[in-house]
Amino acid sequence: MLLVRAASLAVEPLGESWVFFSPLSGETHLINDTSAAMLECLDASRPTAADSVYLEIAGLTGSTPAEVARMCSGYWSSLVEAGAVRVMLAQPPIPSEPA
């Protein structure tokens, strides 16, 4: 799965945790360190594979990529729905034909 950070996403530290605002969705969410790290590993202009994110976080935390994957993979869909992350399709969509 290829992921892109939403353009103009504002991620800010807030005491012991983090908060983000997505201009895309208009939503504001308080997030934990894990989610903040996941966002940090993504770029707005260049797609990143989910596996690279797990690898990078594993390197920072001393866990294995598999452990990180187990912990993180469930969060992506919430981040997409909240407008923080966009999923790049592997193939372009089928062009629609008139009925």
Please report, as ranges, the residues that interact with another protein according to CB under 8 A.
10, 12-17, 19, 21, 23-26, 28, 30, 81, 83, 89, 93-94, 96-99
Question: Closest separation between CB of residue 81 and another protein, Å?
Answer: 6
Say how far apart CA 18 and CA 24 lie, in whole Å.
19
Question: Whose Cβ is closer to another protein: residue 62's or residue 93's?
Answer: 93
Question: Closest separation between CB of residue 73 and another protein, Å?
Answer: 19
Find out whether 9 and 25 touch, Cβ atoms under 8 Å: no
Instruction: Sheet with 48-49: list strands edge to edge.
Output: 48-49, 2-5, 85-88
Q: Which helix (H) or strand (E) holds 5?
A: strand 2-5
Question: Whose Cβ is closer to another protein: residue 30's or residue 66's?
Answer: 30
Question: Whose Cβ is closer to another protein: residue 62's or residue 98's?
Answer: 98
